[in-house]
Amino acid sequence: MQLNAKLCCCLGAGCSSRGCQLFLMCIALQVYHAACNGELYSRPFIESFEETPMLVAVLTYMGYGILTIFGYLRDFMREWKIEKCHIAREREEQKDFVSLYQDFENFYTRNLYMRIRDSWNRPICSAPGATFDLVERSSNDYNWTFEYTGRVVKDVINLGSYNYLGFAENTGACATAAGEVTVKFGVGVASTRQEMGNLDKHEELEKLAASFLGVESAMAFGMGFATNSMNIPALAGKGWLILSDELNHASLVLGARLSGSTIRVFKHNNMQSLEKLLRDAIAHGQPRTHRPWKKILILVEGIYSMEGSIIRLPEVIALKKKYKAYLYLDEAHSIGALGPNGRGVVEYFGLDPKDVDVMMGTFTKSFGAAGGYIGGRKDLIDYLRTHSHSAIYATSMSLPVVEQIITSMKCIMGKDGTTIGRSRIQRLAENTVYFRRRLREMGFIIYGNNDSPVVPMMLYMPAKIGAFGREMLKRNIGVVVVGFPATPIIESRARFCISAAHTKEMLDRALDVISEVGDLLQLKYSRHKVLPSLDRPFDETTYEENEE
């Protein structure tokens, strides 16, 4: 009681005395002592981020250096009309105007990105399920333009879509229900929720989402990106302090900037860095005036989509409670994909949803639909209904999309009278553990948490980004490759997204191809050799083992 009273005094007064600072340091030590002794975790928490081998890092920098030199050489040739320039540029009569294009960004696009542009924006012509059909295209001008060949590549194994639970399908209960709603209501709503666009299906979705999340109330939005970028400014403002993870999604970053709050960034998933910012914010207050901050808001994600890491939520909540801050949790990738019942990272750690002030997520991944949601206390949701730009000015969600979400969510919750949802969650967990383990045994460097269905595999060198994507597609495997600026310049990677729709045969086929291409491109960089383990029966229950 005395400890809590003193903390409240410090928070309220913005104390900056030496005694206050020492007191806050003691709090930090208590939090980390608990974390290190496992008192905050009810299950094993294993993540790996193997360091880049020195030789690989040097060769990667050399590769970018050579590309840059040749890029400047080609720019020189374009300037003297020796080589044709396809990039957008100012007309001659506009040379004295303010530049429309930033030089370095343009340089990177025309000289590096264009070399491997064929690895992105590939058009598909089927549902993005466990497999998909791909429209073949070719380029005669080094990826500046593409032409369709008229051929369709059939049954490409899909390791790129966020279809975690396999609900992005054109058959089954979800597709049937969405089709029936389309016939009854049509596709468009043609109004906002505040006017003539609030239908009974929207109300049903929000009540179901609140029940699924275990919160008092929830609100749905038509776009996942706007759920963050338009609602954070409605919640935070001048005089607020936002503490943001350095690897947060662009929607969180944009929302924080639009809010007008002061933003400070802590190292990715580093509780010592976060705690230091919290302690300094309370001890010193606002710049110049040293007045206490109106509120302190922590922005984090459940699963980080480029790293495959899971937020250390028990430690974040412990710090949030100690320093009386607020927590905004983005569960775009974790809702449906984590937890025994698919309720996300909160359930994964066995925590109380009430400990998270703002629970945000999207319907675009595990539910195979579109849009996003925010859940929390009823007074919070009521406030957003009248203050959120995304709620007031945006057109209501399309009813077929709403029905897709409702049907898939009921399936996950078991309200459809079947165990299909539970079995998909279990299958996803098993597929994830199996796929990650096999890649490590092969000698690849894999980032992230053992339970994360987002699996980044490190490529590093720029030439290998395009080569890996092309070689995999030749063997009928569709993958996503990622490079700078989406990742640090020497940490290019392939990102696999595992789905419950993948069978063991599909995963084995993909793993064999990955190993073959890995040998071809010399991608097996790991120095930590993992001995192949005896394969246990593939249908053993991952979550039940952890509970035992």
- Express each pLDDT in 178-200 by its tens digit: 999 999 999 999 999 989 999 99
Sequence-distant (6+) residues with CB within 8 A of 499 are 130, 158, 161, 163, 164, 165, 166, 428, 431, 453
User: Mean pLDDT, to the nearest integer, of 359-374?
Assistant: 97
Residue 277: the pLDDT is 97
| Residue 5 binned pLDDT confidence (cut-offs 50, 70, 90) | very low
Q: Which is more confidently placed, 19 or 307?
A: 307
Tokens standing for residue 360:
């945000």
Per-residue confidence (pLDDT) for residue 28, from 0 to 100: 42
Given a cut of 50, is residue 269 above it in pLDDT?
yes
In the structure, what pLDDT confidence band is assigned to residue 40 with cuts at 50, 70 and 90?
confident
Q: How confident is the model at residue 281 (pLDDT cuts 50, 70, 90)?
A: very high
Span 407-426, average pLDDT: 96
What residue type is 538 in one-letter code? F
Query: Is the predicted pLDDT of residue 94 greater than 80, yes or no?
Result: no
Q: Is 322 within 8 Å of 29 (Cβ atoms)?
A: no
- pLDDT at residue 9 above 80? no
Contact 46, 448 (CB under 8 A): no
Rounded to whole angstroms, the Cα distance separating 453 from 436 reads 9
Q: Which token pair is 457?
A: 């595999």
Write out the H or E segment, with its range, that includes residue 496: strand 492-497
pLDDT of residue 100: 67
**Percentage, residues of the chain above pLDDT 70:** 88
Q: What is the pTM of this model?
A: 0.88
Average of per-residue pLDDT across 444-464: 96
| Res. 38 pLDDT band, cuts 50 70 90 | low
| Band of residue 83 on the pLDDT scale cut at 50, 70, 90 | confident
Question: Which is it for the CA torsion 217, 223, 228, 229, positive or negative?
Answer: negative
Task: Output the pLDDT for position 92.
Answer: 75
pLDDT band, residue 105 (cuts 50/70/90): low
Phi, psi of 471 (to 5 degrees): -65, -35
Average pLDDT, rounded, for the chain: 89
The pLDDT, as a whole number, for residue 382 is 96
pLDDT tens, residue by residue, 288-310: 999 999 999 999 999 999 999 99
- What are the pLDDT digits (tens) for 475-512? 999 999 999 888 988 899 999 999 999 999 999 999 99
pLDDT of residue 15: 43
**Over 50: is that where the pLDDT of 335 sits?**
yes
Type of residue found at 303: I
CA atoms within 13 A on the CB side of 138: 5
| Residue corresponding to tokens 């399309």 | 398
pLDDT of residue 102: 60
C-alpha to C-alpha distance for 535 and 438, rounded to whole angstroms: 10
Q: Residue 516: is its pLDDT beyond 50?
A: yes
Rounded average pLDDT over 105-113: 82
Q: What is the pLDDT of residue 537?
A: 43
In tens, the pLDDT along 134-156 reads: 999 999 988 999 999 999 999 99
* For the chain, the helix, strand and coil percentages under 3-state DSSP, each to the nearest 5: 45, 15, 40
User: Residues 323-349: what's their mean pLDDT?
Assistant: 97
Whole-number Å distance between alpha carbons of 499 and 509:
15
456 contacts 536 by C-beta, under 8 angstroms: no
Q: How far is CA 23 from the centre of its chain?
A: 36
Residue 457 confidence (pLDDT) above 60: yes
- Tell me whether residue 253 is exposed, middle or buried, using C-beta atoms within 10 angstroms of its C-beta: 0 to 12, 13 to 18, 19 or more: buried
